[in-house]
Amino acid sequence: MSIDPRAALNALTSALEEHLAAASVRRGEEDPIVEATFLAIIDAFEVYEEALFDAYDEVTPLVIYGEDESDRDEDSDESLDDDLDPIDD
């Protein structure tokens, strides 16, 4: 059973709003509430991306970057922007 993309988008939006609220009252560098809401954004985004693909065979232009990116060359001098092509209007 697929998740409705609209419901997944609403969950993602709520996760973003909760993160903003937590960040605005942050209690130190490693506030566990901010970290939890950060991870909730990742989870909600992944659900949305999957629902969007299942329903419409479509993806977003967004990518989640983590600390353990095995597919990224750590010794590379190139920035991420060098890998992107400009969008022609």
Beta-carbon contacts of 9 under 8 Å, excluding residues fewer than 6 positions away, are 48
pLDDT band at 87 (very low <50, low <70, confident <90, very high): low
- In this predicted structure, the answer to whether residue 37 has a pLDDT above a threshold of 90 is yes
CB of 19 closer than 8 Å to CB of 38: yes
pLDDT in tens, 11-31: 999 999 999 999 999 999 999
DSSP-assigned states of every residue in 26-41: --STT-HHHHHHHHHH
How many angstroms separate the CA atoms of 74 and 26, rounded? 31
How many angstroms separate the CA atoms of 81 and 56, rounded? 28
Domain range summary for the chain, segments of one domain joined by +: 1-59
